[in-house]
């Protein structure tokens, strides 16, 4: 989710989430989002996204 009021500008205002499988469920990753930002920074020219948003159909 992108939100300039809620998320740090270092990641271009994107909120990142990562979930780790624990048994039969998942829990949030406890190491923070810096790893997400550093990985996504290689896609900076595409708004930090690895894929393009799908167009909506009318």
Task: Give domain status of residue 1, yes or no.
Answer: no
Residue 56 lies in a domain: no
Burial 24-39 (b: 16+ CB within 10 A, else e): eeeeeeeeebeebbee
How many structural domains is the chain composed of? 1
Beta bridge partners of 2: 14
What sign has the CA pseudo-torsion 22, 13, 11, 39?
positive
Which residues are registered as beta bridge partners of 26? 21
Please report how many Cα atoms fall inside a 13 Å half-sphere around the Cα of residue 33, on the Cβ side. 14
The tens digit of pLDDT for each residue in 2-58 reads 888 888 777 788 888 888 899 999 887 777 777 888 888 899 888 888 887 677 776
* Residue 53 placed within a domain: no
Q: Is the pTM of this model over 0.75?
A: no
Q: Which two tokens stand for residue 26?
A: 């998942």
Full residue range of the structural domain in which residue 40 is found:
9-46
Is 3 contained in some domain?
no
């Amino acid at each position: 989710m992108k939100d300039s009021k809620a998320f740090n500008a270092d990641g271009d205002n994107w909120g990142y989430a990562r979930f780790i499988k624990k048994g039969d469920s998942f829990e949030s990753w406890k190491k923070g989002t810096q790893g997400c930002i550093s990985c996504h920074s290689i896609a900076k020219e595409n708004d930090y996204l690895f894929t393009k948003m799908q167009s909506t159909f009318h």
